[in-house]
Structure 1
Amino acid sequence: MNPSIKQLKAYVAVAHARSLAEASERLHLSQPALSIAIRKLEDTVGGPLFARTTRQLWLTPEGEAFLPVAIRLLNDWMEAFEDLNERFMKKRGKVTIAALPTLAAGLLPEVIATFRQRHPLINLSLHDVLADQVNQLVREGRADLGFSVAPQQSDDLVFEAILTDRYVAVCPQDHPLLGQEHVRWAQLAEYPFIGINRLSSSRQDIDKIMVEIGLPLDILCDVSQIATVGRMVAAGVGISVLPALSFRQIADDGIGHRPLVEPTINRELGVIMRRRHPLSAAATALLALMREAN
């Protein structure tokens, strides 16, 4: 059984008009073509839907019972395609983003503001989480896009680099390190240090570099929020290391920063997507804005 939309439209039009001539005018279809559509539908369902007289058509009991069902099917059909069209036109839908806090607070606000101006009916959701959580949210399909560092050993994920960040030494104003154009990583070991979350990708990079140069940091304490690092450094508690992009999200009153060298570390940041899972039109539009922003 495979009735067509054309047959359903013909049946509903005739049921409302009770006349082939009037229904054919409504549908812009010839009377012979309309009659054929009705007959094929009746053949498909196994019996007559109309009782015919010389002047008018009447619904059979089966036809009466089927009419509200047919109307609902046609409405559902039209609504389905209207919904699909609105999604392609970015008039409906949702995009969920998972991003490192550095990107969520430092880079995404301007991008999201532009996206909202262009597509005000799209619902946006943002999770600012650590790198491993970004990967997990994307992998499980709970986020359409992730913005983070490149995932390690993740064949199910695709990474596209968008921008490059660098690490900087963060010091209170008037600190001797700010008198230099650059700061060597080895010099960090000479001063009390404020650490950031040990599970963060930045902290893992910092620890790896200090192990490679063979010098331990004098860590006074570890904190979770980048803003807290900035305030503790400003208070003179110690120095720290942050991604340069972090300075888009923290107040820099009372602190300064210098690029870190020997080694110079470039930190690639970009978008993470599921392999073999195409993006929605809305997510594709957001990704395009991220590319334009850099």
Structure 2
Amino acid sequence: MDQDIELRHLRYFVAVAEELHFGRAAERLHLSQPPLSQQIRNLEESLGYPLFKRTSRSVALTTAGDAFLLRARRTLRNLQRDIDDTRSIGRGEVGALNVGFVGSGMLAMLPSIFKTYREAYPKVHLRLHESFTSRVVEGLENGSLDVGILRDSDATEGLQIKTILTEPYVAVLPRNHRCAAQKSISPAMLRDEPFVHYPRSAGARAFDKPLKIFEEYGFQPRIAQEASHWLTILRLIGAGFGISVAPACVRQIASPEVVCLPLRGVKETSQIELAWLVGESRPIVEAFAQIAAGQTG
């Protein structure tokens, strides 16, 4: 655009072109007519061609004016769209949000969080990445993830972590186990049982917490089999590979071959956490965090 032409010239021109009357255009723009006429003349001088045919009785667009009207409208429309888009980005209403999450979160409140967020911000491309706590933390640190949903994470420098769900642990036993008919079970009764557990590489604290339950009962569980996903762990338990201790949410995927029993006298709980980088200030991240924090349990 020529340096002598400003956006106000385009707005003034479009008003006159649509009204084909300087007086009505001036009223529409909340201007007096002489300054408006002068601005249109300035625009024509900058372009080097007349935009209007003026007589004492009428105003009409020239061929150049007709062509310029299409372009002026397009410029103003594009500018308004860019302004609206920028404001939407500023409010966190558009863009892409990469969320890493632990699979067990999908057995708890995560589906509700994702649904609420998508309904509130339908123009945001929500990219979901299922993984383990340790890998979600890595993604936050290297910038490939914007927000993380963790399970019993370790304190990590540079991350802000907020608990959004606390749930008890349950014992998971084969249906044919000698204690399967009980309403609850003491950890002491699991002393000699082989355990099916997820690997430490998934998250050190998440690995250790349920096992520490048994320390006050004088033993450390013997891990006979490792598996990375709760569905696999439950099916292995049902197949007789051992028992396990799991967050209570796994009841939702428990097959008929297993039972989930409350642990008597156990105060230890498992936490699902929301994590983001310290100093994070992008509205798109803050909006997701606000919705997730609003559904704490």
- Common fold, TM-score beyond 0.5? yes
Offset at 1:31?
Answer: 1.9
1:267 to 267, 270, 273: 270
Distance in structure 2 (CA, Å) of the matches to 1:132 and 1:10: 59
Mapped pair 1:276 → 2:279: yes
Deviates more, 1:127-136 or 1:147-156: 147-156
| TM-score for both structures, normalised by structure 1 | 0.73
C-alpha distance in structure 1 between counterparts of 2:262 and 2:60, whole Å: 86
CA gap of 1:6–1:180, structure 2 versus 1, over 3 A, is same
Matched with 1:253 is 256
Residues 101-124 of structure 1, C-alpha deviation per residue, up to 9 Å, x if partnerless? Answer: 110343222343455556655543
1:207-222, aligned counterparts within 5 Å?
Answer: 215-222=219-226
CA distance in 1, matches of 2:245, 2:111: 23
- Choose from 234, 237, 241 the match for 2:238: 234
**Residues 30 and 204 (structure 1 numbering): CA distance in 2 closer, same or farther, change over 3 Å?**
farther
State whether residues 117 and 291 of structure 2, in contact with CA within 8 Å, keep that contact through their aligned partners in structure 1: no
- In structure 2, the CA distance between the partners of 1:53 and 1:192, relative to structure 1 (3 Å rule), is closer
Give the structure 2 partner of residue 181 of structure 1. 184
CA distance in 1, matches of 2:98, 2:110: 13
CA distance in 2 between partners of 1:274 and 1:155 (Å) = 9
Query: What residue ranges of structure 2 are gaps of 5+ in the alignment?
Result: none
Shift of 1:158: 1.5
Which amino acid in 1 is paired with 2:209?
A: D
- Kept in 1, the 8 Å contact 2:170–2:246? The answer is yes
Cα offset, 1:100, TM superposition: 1.0
The answer to whether the 8 A contact 1:50-1:59 is kept is no
| Aligned position for 2:132 | 130
Which whole-Å CA distance do the structure 2 matches of 1:21 and 1:6 have between them? 17
SS at match of 2:173: strand
Partner of 1:98: 100
Q: CA RMSD in A?
A: 4.2
Q: 1:2 to 1:103 in 2, by over 3 A?
A: farther
CA shift in 2, pair 1:83/1:118, >3 Å: same
Whether the aligned pair in 2 keeps the contact of 1:144 and 1:279 (CA below 8 Å) is no
Match of 1:148 among 138, 147, 150: 150
Alignment size in residue pairs: 288
Report what 2:78 is aligned to: 76
Shift of 1:227: 0.6
Q: For the Cα contact (< 8 Å) 2:173–2:242, is it kept in 1?
A: yes
SS at match of 2:260: strand
TM-aligned CA deviation for residue 76 of structure 1? 1.4
**Runs of 5+ consecutive residues of structure 1 not aligned to the other structure:** none
**2: distance between equivalents of 1:268 and 1:147?**
10
Distance 1:153 1:86, change over 3 A: closer
Distance in 2 (alpha carbons) for counterparts of 1:279 and 1:247: 37
Change over 3 Å in CA distance of 1:37–1:134 after alignment to 2: farther
Identity over aligned residues, as a percent? 27
Q: Go from structure 1 to structure 2 and tell me whether the alpha carbon gap of 1:117 and 1:68 turns closer, same or farther (over 3 Å shift).
A: closer
- 1:189-232 deviation digits (Å, cap 9, x = unpaired): 41122122332233243466678987453333211221111112
Q: Measure the CA separation in 2 of the matches of 1:3 and 1:276.
A: 42
Given that 1:194 and 1:223 are in contact with CA atoms closer than 8 Å, whether structure 2 keeps it comes out as: yes
The separation in 2 between residues aligned to 1:276 and 1:76, in whole angstroms, is 34
Structure 2 length as normaliser, TM-score?
0.73
